[in-house]
Structure 1
Amino acid sequence: MKKIILITALFLTSAAFLNAASPLDQLKSLVGSWEGTAKWTGDRTGEYNLEAVYSLTGNGSAVVENLIAEGQTTMTSVYHMDGGSLRMTHFCGAGNQPRLIASSFKEGEKISFKLVDVTNLSSPDAPHVTAVDLNLQSPDTMSITFTFVSNSKTSVELIQLHRK
């Protein structure tokens, strides 16, 4: 009897794991248009309105995020799986491309990314993103936190978005 209970428990645990949404599936739920505000703190300061547009590309294998603010360069990030790891490449207004990997994932809540490397970085002190947190607060509300380093000084950009 104990063996049957143990086998049943293992089967149910495995089934729940296989049915759990992947981090990329969570991001696919963002597809559409969003609007909100961005606020810088730290070495860089300022506040502005912006729009975000999420779409799928690569036959649904990647999520494209475009952050659009009047008078500023559009920033694009692409989220995709690499085996079992969620990756992010951020095409920054600074002209470089930080590549990040999800370091933690809490389904339906938060995905944290840490820096792997940066392509087209002119020097180690050049401005670049070092970390990103996505907080999925509800199906229609989210925030994105970018940690940005320039000349060894840190700034944080908090973006609050709601679905249009």
Structure 2
Amino acid sequence: MTFIRLPLMLMLLWTGAFAQSDAQKSFDKLKALSGVWEGKVTTDMPVAASIQNNLMHVTLRTTSRGNALLHEMTSAGTDDPITMFYLDEDRLLLTHYCDAGNRPRMEGKLSPGGKTVEFAFLDVAGSNQHQHMHHAKFTFIDADHHTEDWIFMLGDNAVHAHVDLRRTGDAAGAAGK
């Protein structure tokens, strides 16, 4: 009987040691979005009316030997904020390099169903701490369709932007290859 228990315990320990953390699962889902995307942005505040229904281009590129994901968002005539996604031990983090002149960090969590990764605010560094990106949510529809929801804090007012994105190019196109 001891002979049977020992291999069983070793097998359970072996598979447990290689089980993916939720942070790694979330990061892998985001990396699967590598490519070129396009979609319209909608917002819920009159102060952000200038971007309402603008065509947004998003490029996601896995970099640094798979250890980071670069997210670049562009629209006509504006600077392009970038966001870096990365693992920090057992946490999925993002740092958003904002055109407001600061760098908010957020921690991501995968939903129980695996359809969304939602990022909660941790802290912000930089010159403008009263206006900053505060929350983000990525929803996976299928391999060529996802949505992004971003909340920007404008003082005490939350401005919500929703972008419905369709894939227009692959990861090789995102890397300029």
State the TM-score, normalizing by the size of structure 1.
0.84
1:74-123: CA deviation from partner (whole Å, max 9, x where unpaired): 01110000001000011112111111111x20364100001111110434
CA RMSD of aligned residues (A): 2.5
Q: Per chain length, whose mean CA-contact separation is higher, i.e. which structure has more relative contact order (CA < 8 Å, sep 6+)?
A: 2
The equivalent position to 2:99 in structure 1, one of 93, 110, 114, is 93
Higher mean alpha-carbon deviation, 42-51 vs 90-99, is at 42-51
What's the secondary structure of 1:47's corresponding residue? coil
Within-5 A mapping of 1:106-121 = 106=111, 108-121=114-127
Indicate conservation of the 8 Å contact 2:68/2:86, yes or no.
Answer: yes
From 148, 154, 159, the counterpart of 2:158:
154
Instruction: Quote the Cα distance in structure 2 between the aligned partners of 1:157 and 1:66.
Output: 16
Q: CA deviation at 1:132?
A: 0.5
- Identity across the alignment (%): 21
Number of residue pairs aligned between Structure 1 and Structure 2: 156
Distance 1:94 1:19, change over 3 A: closer
Question: What is the alpha-carbon distance in structure 2 between the residues aligned to residue 135 and residue 32 of structure 1?
Answer: 16
Partner of 1:140: 144
Query: Which piece of structure 1 moves more, 37-46 or 49-58?
Result: 37-46
Greater than 4 Å deviation, 4+ residue runs: none
Unaligned runs of 5+ in 2: 169-177
TM norm structure 2: 0.78
Find the residue that maps to 1:101 and give its secondary structure: strand
Larger helix fraction of residues = 2
